[in-house]
Amino acid sequence: MSTGRLEAFSDGVLAVIITIMVLELHPPDGSSFHDLRPLLPKLAIYLLSFVFIAIYWNNHHHMFQVVDRINGSTLWANAHLLFWLSLTPAAAAWLGPHVAERAPVAIYGIVLVGSGFA
């Protein structure tokens, strides 16, 4: 397998992850700027998660610029990373409206640590 094929697959998965995250954002009921206020925590979590995914995408791209060949271990390591990153939309969606609650914060943190470890 070429590095380009693995990089293209990973790019597709990351694009889907970002798409799922943005679909969790819903417009406010009203039409004034004041109606955006309840959405600010969700928007902040979306921004944080987007930057988080973008950093991984950027690092992934740079890493594969120096890789010459792909083996089974590389495929599994990449799948491990994509697994943890794929949990980001669910963790962010739960955390957004519950930023002061212990369980959503813990799960979001576990996803961040799992991604970092992978």
Nearest alpha-carbon partner for 10 in 66, 65, 57, 71: 57
| pLDDT lower than 50: segments of the chain | none
Domain positions in the chain are: 3-117
For residues 104 and 42, the answer to whether their CB atoms sit within 8 Å is no
- Which of 94, 81, 88, 82 is closest to 21 using CA atoms? 88
Give residue 103's pLDDT. 97
Closest CA to 50 of 91, 3, 101, 89: 89
Whether the pTM exceeds 0.75: the reply is: yes
CA 3 to chain centre: 22
| pLDDT of res. 25 | 87
What pLDDT was estimated at residue 38? 87
Identify the pLDDT of residue 117: 96
Structure token digits, residue 88: 């980001």
Q: What is the pLDDT at residue 2?
A: 80
